[in-house]
A and B are shown apart, each in its own frame.
Chain A
Amino acid sequence: DTAVSQTPKYLVTQMGNDKSIKCEQNLGHDTMYWYKQDSKKFLKIMFSYNNKELIINETVPNRFSPKSPDKAHLNLHINSLELGDSAVYFCASSQGQRSPRYFGPGTRLTVL
């Protein structure tokens, strides 16, 4: 019974392509997030959604577009992939912003 799941686990693609990463949580949480972990292992928040509404949008290129079809899902679509987008992307969820965040297993994106 995975609490926060992401697909795919690995994604290898060419520069210029468009790709999506899916995230689902079965914890009943109302807030979901996307984080990026670069090669130096720093975790940076990208987006935060509460009840399907965007509440945090860090300085992320417009090529990144999150979409939340319902409270349990937050997908990340990336257009025109660049080499610098290579990283591990983590989805997370929490019950409101004041509660602990639970993370998914990550998606390792490699742009060639």
Chain B
Amino acid sequence: GAVVSQHPSWVICKSGTSVKIECRSLDFQATTMFWYRQFPKQSLMLMATSNEGSKATYEQGVEKDKFLINHASLTLSTLTVTSAHPEDSSFYICSATRDRGPIQQPQHFGDGTRLSIL
């Protein structure tokens, strides 16, 4: 099946630093990648939708200057949390899909990144 790799799996850093999370589709070219955030005992919340070569579309309430998304190729998207603070601590998950034509394809998810800001 399709594989999406997310790195790192977990990261602990000091308040004020920036953290970059990578999301790679290993065996397919992803037309669209998505970034989600999940707080403990809550469901996933979509942060942004990213298409290769174009600017990401952010959900309402998500600060685009704080959560920088780069989608440079059909197999790689990155999320950078800038000047991270303790309230940014969460479980960040990416997904990728290869929708083409009229048949909708499934989304394939990475294993997530546990971000802890001290």
**B partners with A:** no
A contact residues vs B (CB 8 Å cutoff): none
